[in-house]
A = this chain, B = another copy of it.
Amino acid sequence: MAQERESHREDVVGRANVEDTPELLAYYDELARHKAGALWTVANKIEPWEPKSQSVPVVWRYRDLRAHVLRSVELVTPEKAGRRVVYLNNPGRSDVAAAVGWIYGGLQVMNPGEVASAHRHSASAIRFIIEGSGAYTVVDGHKMTLGANDFVLTPNDTWHEHGVEATGSPCIWQDGLDIPFVNAMEANFYEVHPDLSQAVGYAVDDMTKTWGNAGLKPMGENWTKGYSPMFKYEWAPTYDALTRYAGCTDGSPFDGVLMEYLNPVTNGPVMQTLGASMQMLRPGEHTKAHRHTGSGLYHVAKGSGHSIINGRRYDWQEHDIFCVPSWAWHEHANGSDREDACLFCLSDLPVMRALGLYREQAFGDNGGMQPLL
Protein backbone atom coordinates (compact mmCIF):
# COMPACT_ATOMS: atom_id res chain seq x y z
CA MET A 1 0.00 0.00 0.00
CA ALA A 2 2.83 2.39 0.85
CA GLN A 3 3.65 3.18 -2.75
CA GLU A 4 0.12 4.47 -3.28
CA ARG A 5 0.29 7.07 -0.53
CA GLU A 6 0.07 10.65 -1.56
CA SER A 7 3.02 12.93 -0.84
CA HIS A 8 2.76 16.62 -1.63
CA ARG A 9 4.95 18.19 1.05
CA GLU A 10 6.00 21.81 0.60
CA ASP A 11 8.54 23.56 2.78
CA VAL A 12 6.59 26.81 2.91
CA VAL A 13 5.05 28.43 5.97
CA GLY A 14 1.31 27.83 5.95
CA ARG A 15 1.57 24.69 3.78
CA ALA A 16 1.49 21.05 4.82
CA ASN A 17 4.88 19.54 5.40
CA VAL A 18 4.46 16.38 7.46
CA GLU A 19 6.91 13.52 7.01
CA ASP A 20 5.65 9.96 7.15
CA THR A 21 6.29 8.04 10.36
CA PRO A 22 5.23 4.51 11.24
CA GLU A 23 2.77 5.94 13.71
CA LEU A 24 1.29 8.27 11.16
CA LEU A 25 1.11 5.58 8.49
CA ALA A 26 -0.83 3.43 10.93
CA TYR A 27 -3.07 6.38 11.68
CA TYR A 28 -3.70 6.90 7.97
CA ASP A 29 -4.69 3.26 7.60
CA GLU A 30 -7.07 3.61 10.50
CA LEU A 31 -8.67 6.68 8.96
CA ALA A 32 -9.04 4.90 5.64
CA ARG A 33 -11.09 2.21 7.35
CA HIS A 34 -13.57 4.94 8.34
CA LYS A 35 -13.71 6.38 4.82
CA ALA A 36 -11.60 9.29 5.98
CA GLY A 37 -8.10 10.66 5.53
CA ALA A 38 -5.64 13.19 6.98
CA LEU A 39 -6.01 16.48 5.14
CA TRP A 40 -2.32 17.31 5.38
CA THR A 41 -1.45 14.39 3.12
CA VAL A 42 -3.43 15.91 0.23
CA ALA A 43 -3.85 19.58 1.17
CA ASN A 44 -1.08 20.90 -1.07
CA LYS A 45 -2.48 18.93 -3.98
CA ILE A 46 -6.06 20.06 -3.65
CA GLU A 47 -5.17 23.65 -2.85
CA PRO A 48 -2.78 24.57 -5.67
CA TRP A 49 -1.14 27.97 -5.84
CA GLU A 50 -2.86 28.66 -9.14
CA PRO A 51 -4.91 26.75 -11.74
CA LYS A 52 -3.04 24.39 -14.03
CA SER A 53 -5.32 23.31 -16.83
CA GLN A 54 -5.44 19.70 -17.92
CA SER A 55 -6.08 20.86 -21.49
CA VAL A 56 -3.35 21.65 -23.98
CA PRO A 57 -3.52 24.24 -26.74
CA VAL A 58 -4.47 22.68 -30.08
CA VAL A 59 -5.22 23.97 -33.57
CA TRP A 60 -7.54 21.77 -35.59
CA ARG A 61 -6.96 22.69 -39.23
CA TYR A 62 -10.07 22.69 -41.33
CA ARG A 63 -8.14 21.67 -44.44
CA ASP A 64 -7.08 18.52 -42.56
CA LEU A 65 -10.38 17.62 -40.99
CA ARG A 66 -12.78 18.48 -43.80
CA ALA A 67 -12.00 15.42 -45.88
CA HIS A 68 -12.39 13.14 -42.89
CA VAL A 69 -15.68 14.71 -42.04
CA LEU A 70 -16.97 14.24 -45.56
CA ARG A 71 -15.73 10.68 -45.57
CA SER A 72 -18.00 9.82 -42.62
CA VAL A 73 -20.90 10.16 -45.04
CA GLU A 74 -19.64 7.09 -46.84
CA LEU A 75 -18.73 5.18 -43.73
CA VAL A 76 -21.82 5.36 -41.55
CA THR A 77 -25.51 6.02 -41.93
CA PRO A 78 -27.25 8.58 -39.77
CA GLU A 79 -29.53 5.81 -38.51
CA LYS A 80 -26.66 3.79 -37.10
CA ALA A 81 -24.38 6.63 -36.03
CA GLY A 82 -27.08 8.88 -34.65
CA ARG A 83 -25.10 11.80 -36.00
CA ARG A 84 -22.08 11.79 -38.32
CA VAL A 85 -19.69 13.81 -36.22
CA VAL A 86 -15.93 13.99 -35.89
CA TYR A 87 -15.26 15.27 -32.40
CA LEU A 88 -12.28 17.29 -31.24
CA ASN A 89 -10.31 15.28 -28.75
CA ASN A 90 -7.97 17.36 -26.62
CA PRO A 91 -5.04 15.12 -25.61
CA GLY A 92 -5.38 16.26 -22.01
CA ARG A 93 -9.12 15.69 -21.87
CA SER A 94 -9.78 12.51 -23.81
CA ASP A 95 -11.22 10.91 -20.65
CA VAL A 96 -14.22 13.21 -21.00
CA ALA A 97 -14.09 13.68 -24.80
CA ALA A 98 -13.59 17.43 -24.45
CA ALA A 99 -12.03 19.85 -26.92
CA VAL A 100 -10.96 22.08 -24.04
CA GLY A 101 -11.87 22.22 -20.37
CA TRP A 102 -15.46 21.02 -20.04
CA ILE A 103 -16.45 21.93 -23.60
CA TYR A 104 -17.20 19.39 -26.27
CA GLY A 105 -16.57 20.30 -29.93
CA GLY A 106 -17.31 18.44 -33.13
CA LEU A 107 -17.70 18.78 -36.88
CA GLN A 108 -20.91 17.40 -38.29
CA VAL A 109 -21.89 16.81 -41.91
CA MET A 110 -25.30 16.34 -43.45
CA ASN A 111 -26.37 15.82 -47.05
CA PRO A 112 -29.29 17.51 -48.78
CA GLY A 113 -32.56 15.89 -47.80
CA GLU A 114 -31.19 14.38 -44.63
CA VAL A 115 -32.63 15.09 -41.21
CA ALA A 116 -31.44 13.82 -37.83
CA SER A 117 -33.85 12.32 -35.35
CA ALA A 118 -35.18 14.72 -32.73
CA HIS A 119 -33.96 14.39 -29.18
CA ARG A 120 -33.26 16.47 -26.09
CA HIS A 121 -30.74 16.47 -23.28
CA SER A 122 -29.66 18.57 -20.34
CA ALA A 123 -26.58 19.64 -22.21
CA SER A 124 -26.77 22.85 -24.23
CA ALA A 125 -25.45 23.30 -27.75
CA ILE A 126 -24.36 25.93 -30.22
CA ARG A 127 -24.28 24.90 -33.87
CA PHE A 128 -22.05 27.17 -35.95
CA ILE A 129 -22.40 26.79 -39.74
CA ILE A 130 -19.20 26.44 -41.73
CA GLU A 131 -20.30 25.69 -45.29
CA GLY A 132 -23.20 24.58 -47.42
CA SER A 133 -26.68 25.84 -48.14
CA GLY A 134 -30.09 24.70 -46.95
CA ALA A 135 -29.18 23.89 -43.36
CA TYR A 136 -31.89 24.35 -40.78
CA THR A 137 -32.59 23.44 -37.18
CA VAL A 138 -35.89 22.97 -35.41
CA VAL A 139 -35.96 23.82 -31.70
CA ASP A 140 -39.15 23.19 -29.76
CA GLY A 141 -41.15 23.62 -32.94
CA HIS A 142 -39.34 26.75 -34.17
CA LYS A 143 -37.53 26.30 -37.48
CA MET A 144 -34.41 28.36 -38.17
CA THR A 145 -32.68 28.60 -41.54
CA LEU A 146 -28.89 28.80 -41.38
CA GLY A 147 -26.10 30.15 -43.54
CA ALA A 148 -22.33 30.33 -43.17
CA ASN A 149 -21.14 31.84 -39.88
CA ASP A 150 -24.67 31.89 -38.50
CA PHE A 151 -25.25 29.92 -35.36
CA VAL A 152 -28.24 28.42 -33.65
CA LEU A 153 -28.87 27.53 -30.01
CA THR A 154 -30.29 24.21 -28.93
CA PRO A 155 -30.55 24.91 -25.21
CA ASN A 156 -30.84 22.40 -22.40
CA ASP A 157 -33.98 20.29 -22.51
CA THR A 158 -35.25 21.63 -25.81
CA TRP A 159 -36.35 19.16 -28.45
CA HIS A 160 -34.14 19.70 -31.48
CA GLU A 161 -33.28 18.25 -34.82
CA HIS A 162 -30.98 19.31 -37.61
CA GLY A 163 -31.56 18.92 -41.32
CA VAL A 164 -30.59 20.09 -44.79
CA GLU A 165 -33.25 20.95 -47.35
CA ALA A 166 -33.37 18.67 -50.40
CA THR A 167 -32.59 21.72 -52.51
CA GLY A 168 -29.46 22.51 -50.54
CA SER A 169 -25.86 21.35 -50.68
CA PRO A 170 -23.85 19.24 -48.23
CA CYS A 171 -23.50 21.20 -45.02
CA ILE A 172 -20.75 21.11 -42.43
CA TRP A 173 -21.04 22.81 -39.09
CA GLN A 174 -19.26 22.96 -35.77
CA ASP A 175 -21.11 21.65 -32.73
CA GLY A 176 -20.17 23.04 -29.34
CA LEU A 177 -21.74 21.61 -26.19
CA ASP A 178 -21.30 21.54 -22.44
CA ILE A 179 -21.69 17.77 -22.35
CA PRO A 180 -18.54 17.15 -20.29
CA PHE A 181 -19.57 19.79 -17.78
CA VAL A 182 -23.14 18.58 -17.36
CA ASN A 183 -21.85 15.03 -16.97
CA ALA A 184 -19.40 16.18 -14.34
CA MET A 185 -22.23 17.95 -12.55
CA GLU A 186 -24.05 14.59 -12.60
CA ALA A 187 -27.04 16.30 -14.16
CA ASN A 188 -27.32 14.97 -17.71
CA PHE A 189 -30.55 13.47 -19.02
CA TYR A 190 -31.20 12.24 -22.56
CA GLU A 191 -34.44 11.51 -24.36
CA VAL A 192 -35.31 10.50 -27.92
CA HIS A 193 -38.41 12.25 -29.28
CA PRO A 194 -41.33 9.80 -29.26
CA ASP A 195 -42.07 10.63 -32.91
CA LEU A 196 -38.38 10.94 -33.87
CA SER A 197 -39.26 14.30 -35.39
CA GLN A 198 -41.27 17.33 -34.35
CA ALA A 199 -43.84 19.48 -36.13
CA VAL A 200 -42.93 23.05 -37.04
CA GLY A 201 -45.49 25.19 -35.28
CA TYR A 202 -44.41 28.75 -36.05
CA ALA A 203 -43.36 31.02 -38.89
CA VAL A 204 -39.82 30.22 -40.07
CA ASP A 205 -37.17 32.19 -38.18
CA ASP A 206 -39.84 33.67 -35.93
CA MET A 207 -37.72 33.75 -32.79
CA THR A 208 -35.04 35.93 -34.35
CA LYS A 209 -37.61 38.12 -36.08
CA THR A 210 -39.42 38.56 -32.79
CA TRP A 211 -36.52 39.01 -30.39
CA GLY A 212 -33.65 40.13 -32.59
CA ASN A 213 -34.48 43.82 -32.95
CA ALA A 214 -32.16 46.31 -31.31
CA GLY A 215 -33.80 48.49 -28.70
CA LEU A 216 -37.25 47.00 -29.32
CA LYS A 217 -39.28 44.59 -27.24
CA PRO A 218 -42.21 42.70 -28.75
CA MET A 219 -45.24 43.74 -26.73
CA GLY A 220 -47.17 40.87 -25.31
CA GLU A 221 -44.40 38.31 -25.62
CA ASN A 222 -43.16 36.80 -22.40
CA TRP A 223 -40.04 34.71 -21.91
CA THR A 224 -38.84 33.36 -18.59
CA LYS A 225 -36.61 30.45 -19.55
CA GLY A 226 -32.95 30.53 -18.67
CA TYR A 227 -31.72 30.81 -22.25
CA SER A 228 -32.13 33.26 -25.08
CA PRO A 229 -35.36 33.18 -27.12
CA MET A 230 -33.39 34.56 -30.07
CA PHE A 231 -32.43 31.05 -31.16
CA LYS A 232 -30.52 32.12 -34.27
CA TYR A 233 -27.73 34.73 -34.47
CA GLU A 234 -26.76 35.71 -38.00
CA TRP A 235 -23.41 36.60 -39.40
CA ALA A 236 -24.41 39.61 -41.52
CA PRO A 237 -25.77 41.79 -38.70
CA THR A 238 -22.94 40.64 -36.44
CA TYR A 239 -20.27 41.73 -38.88
CA ASP A 240 -22.14 44.97 -39.48
CA ALA A 241 -22.29 45.62 -35.74
CA LEU A 242 -18.58 44.95 -35.30
CA THR A 243 -17.81 47.34 -38.13
CA ARG A 244 -20.02 50.07 -36.67
CA TYR A 245 -18.66 49.58 -33.18
CA ALA A 246 -15.09 49.56 -34.47
CA GLY A 247 -15.76 53.08 -35.73
CA CYS A 248 -16.31 54.42 -32.25
CA THR A 249 -14.19 52.38 -29.85
CA ASP A 250 -10.52 51.86 -29.16
CA GLY A 251 -11.35 48.26 -28.44
CA SER A 252 -9.77 46.06 -25.83
CA PRO A 253 -5.98 45.78 -25.68
CA PHE A 254 -6.43 42.03 -25.31
CA ASP A 255 -9.23 41.33 -27.71
CA GLY A 256 -9.57 44.06 -30.30
CA VAL A 257 -13.20 44.83 -31.04
CA LEU A 258 -15.18 42.17 -29.23
CA MET A 259 -18.92 41.77 -28.81
CA GLU A 260 -20.62 39.12 -26.73
CA TYR A 261 -23.75 37.48 -28.00
CA LEU A 262 -26.48 37.92 -25.43
CA ASN A 263 -29.88 36.78 -24.36
CA PRO A 264 -32.05 39.80 -25.24
CA VAL A 265 -34.35 39.14 -22.30
CA THR A 266 -31.74 39.06 -19.54
CA ASN A 267 -28.80 40.72 -21.26
CA GLY A 268 -26.82 37.84 -19.88
CA PRO A 269 -25.14 35.13 -21.95
CA VAL A 270 -27.06 33.24 -24.63
CA MET A 271 -27.24 30.19 -22.37
CA GLN A 272 -26.46 29.72 -18.69
CA THR A 273 -23.50 27.43 -19.23
CA LEU A 274 -22.12 28.48 -22.62
CA GLY A 275 -21.26 31.92 -23.90
CA ALA A 276 -20.36 33.12 -27.36
CA SER A 277 -18.56 36.14 -28.73
CA MET A 278 -17.27 37.46 -32.01
CA GLN A 279 -14.19 39.64 -32.12
CA MET A 280 -12.67 41.64 -34.92
CA LEU A 281 -8.92 42.00 -35.17
CA ARG A 282 -8.37 45.14 -37.22
CA PRO A 283 -5.84 45.10 -40.09
CA GLY A 284 -2.38 44.65 -38.59
CA GLU A 285 -3.69 44.37 -35.05
CA HIS A 286 -1.67 42.31 -32.57
CA THR A 287 -3.23 42.29 -29.12
CA LYS A 288 -1.51 42.20 -25.78
CA ALA A 289 -1.47 39.04 -23.71
CA HIS A 290 -3.68 38.26 -20.75
CA ARG A 291 -5.02 35.16 -19.05
CA HIS A 292 -8.24 34.41 -17.26
CA THR A 293 -10.12 31.50 -15.78
CA GLY A 294 -12.47 29.74 -18.17
CA SER A 295 -11.86 27.81 -21.38
CA GLY A 296 -12.35 29.04 -24.94
CA LEU A 297 -12.91 27.22 -28.21
CA TYR A 298 -12.21 29.57 -31.12
CA HIS A 299 -13.45 29.30 -34.70
CA VAL A 300 -11.85 31.51 -37.34
CA ALA A 301 -14.87 33.11 -38.99
CA LYS A 302 -12.88 35.37 -41.32
CA GLY A 303 -9.27 36.02 -42.27
CA SER A 304 -6.05 34.50 -41.04
CA GLY A 305 -3.38 35.12 -38.45
CA HIS A 306 -1.96 33.53 -35.35
CA SER A 307 -2.33 33.35 -31.61
CA ILE A 308 0.38 32.97 -29.03
CA ILE A 309 -0.71 30.70 -26.21
CA ASN A 310 1.54 30.12 -23.22
CA GLY A 311 4.52 31.28 -25.26
CA ARG A 312 3.98 29.18 -28.39
CA ARG A 313 2.70 30.39 -31.74
CA TYR A 314 -0.35 28.80 -33.36
CA ASP A 315 -1.18 29.87 -36.92
CA TRP A 316 -4.75 29.79 -38.13
CA GLN A 317 -6.79 30.53 -41.20
CA GLU A 318 -10.47 30.62 -42.08
CA HIS A 319 -12.53 27.85 -40.42
CA ASP A 320 -9.67 26.53 -38.36
CA ILE A 321 -10.55 25.82 -34.74
CA PHE A 322 -8.24 26.30 -31.79
CA CYS A 323 -8.52 26.31 -28.04
CA VAL A 324 -7.23 28.37 -25.14
CA PRO A 325 -7.19 26.50 -21.81
CA SER A 326 -8.12 28.12 -18.51
CA TRP A 327 -5.49 30.51 -17.13
CA ALA A 328 -3.34 30.20 -20.26
CA TRP A 329 -1.65 33.37 -21.49
CA HIS A 330 -2.95 34.30 -24.92
CA GLU A 331 -2.71 37.06 -27.51
CA HIS A 332 -4.03 37.27 -31.06
CA ALA A 333 -2.55 38.69 -34.26
CA ASN A 334 -4.26 39.45 -37.52
CA GLY A 335 -2.05 38.21 -40.38
CA SER A 336 -3.22 40.86 -42.81
CA ASP A 337 -2.52 44.57 -42.98
CA ARG A 338 -5.51 45.17 -45.21
CA GLU A 339 -8.32 42.87 -44.14
CA ASP A 340 -9.84 42.39 -40.74
CA ALA A 341 -10.00 38.94 -39.15
CA CYS A 342 -12.86 37.67 -37.05
CA LEU A 343 -12.80 35.02 -34.32
CA PHE A 344 -15.89 33.33 -32.98
CA CYS A 345 -15.38 32.08 -29.44
CA LEU A 346 -17.42 29.56 -27.51
CA SER A 347 -16.63 29.51 -23.80
CA ASP A 348 -17.71 28.63 -20.30
CA LEU A 349 -17.27 32.19 -19.09
CA PRO A 350 -20.96 32.31 -18.05
CA VAL A 351 -20.20 29.59 -15.53
CA MET A 352 -17.11 31.38 -14.25
CA ARG A 353 -19.01 34.63 -13.84
CA ALA A 354 -22.20 33.20 -12.37
CA LEU A 355 -20.20 31.42 -9.70
CA GLY A 356 -17.72 34.17 -8.83
CA LEU A 357 -14.77 32.22 -10.26
CA TYR A 358 -13.67 34.63 -12.99
CA ARG A 359 -10.17 36.03 -12.54
CA GLU A 360 -8.10 37.92 -15.11
CA GLN A 361 -4.50 39.02 -15.31
CA ALA A 362 -2.60 41.12 -17.83
CA PHE A 363 0.86 40.06 -18.95
CA GLY A 364 2.97 42.79 -17.43
CA ASP A 365 6.42 42.24 -18.86
CA ASN A 366 7.85 42.66 -22.31
CA GLY A 367 5.42 45.43 -23.33
CA GLY A 368 2.52 43.12 -22.66
CA MET A 369 3.60 40.51 -25.22
CA GLN A 370 4.73 37.01 -24.40
CA PRO A 371 8.29 36.09 -25.39
CA LEU A 372 8.16 33.02 -27.64
CA LEU A 373 9.42 29.83 -26.05
Residues of A within 8 A of B (CB): 12-18, 23-24, 27, 30-32, 34-40, 42-43, 45-54, 58, 60, 64-65, 68, 71-72, 75-76, 79-91, 94, 96-97, 101-102, 104, 106, 117, 119, 121-123, 156, 179-180, 182-193, 196, 202-203, 205-206, 209-221, 226-228, 230, 233, 237-238, 241, 244-245, 247-249, 251-252, 255, 258-262, 264-267, 270-273, 277-279, 293-295, 325-327, 351-352, 354-359
Contact = CB atoms under 8 A, between A and B. Distances in A.
A121 to B, nearest CB: 6
Contact of A101 (B27, B38, B86, B186): B186
B97 A46 contact: yes
Contact of A186 (B58, B97, B202, B327): B327
A43 B82 contact: yes
A130 to B, nearest CB: 15
B76 A39 contact: no
Given A51-B188, A214-B230, 11 more contacts: A24-B75, A24-B76, A27-B68, A38-B85, A40-B82, A186-B295, A187-B294, A187-B327, A213-B237, A214-B237, A215-B270
A97 B36 contact: no
A295 B38 CA distance: 23
A277 B220 CA distance: 12
Contacts of A266: 267
A251 B218 CA distance: 9
| Residue among A45, A215, A251 with max Cβ neighbours from chain B (10 Å) | A215
Nearest to A83: B39
B186 A13 contact: no
Q: Give the number of copies in the complex.
A: 4
A186 B53 contact: yes
| Residue among A123, A220, A221, A241 with max Cβ neighbours from chain B (10 Å) | A220
Given A82-B40, A215-B212, A64 B24 contact: no
Contacts of A210: 245, 248-249
Contacts of A252: 219-220
A357 B354 CA distance: 13
Q: Sort A-B residue pairs by CB-CB distance and give the 6 closest, nearest first.
A: A14-B192, A213-B241, A206-B248, A203-B248, A39-B85, A186-B326
Contacts of A191: 49
Contacts of A295: 186
A1 B350 CA distance: 38
B156 A12 contact: no
A30 B267 contact: no
Given A24-B75, A356-B156, A87 B38 contact: yes
Contacts of A216: 238, 241, 259-262, 278
Contact of A359 (B36, B89, B187): B187
A210 B243 CA distance: 10
25 contacts: A14-B82, A18-B80, A27-B71, A27-B75, A31-B86, A34-B64, A35-B60, A35-B90, A36-B89, A37-B87, A37-B89, A38-B86, A43-B85, A46-B104, A48-B183, A122-B359, A156-B356, A185-B293, A189-B359, A206-B247, A209-B245, A209-B247, A213-B244, A219-B258, A273-B355
Nearest to A117: B14
Given A186-B295, A217-B260, A106 B39 contact: yes
A224 to B, nearest CB: 11
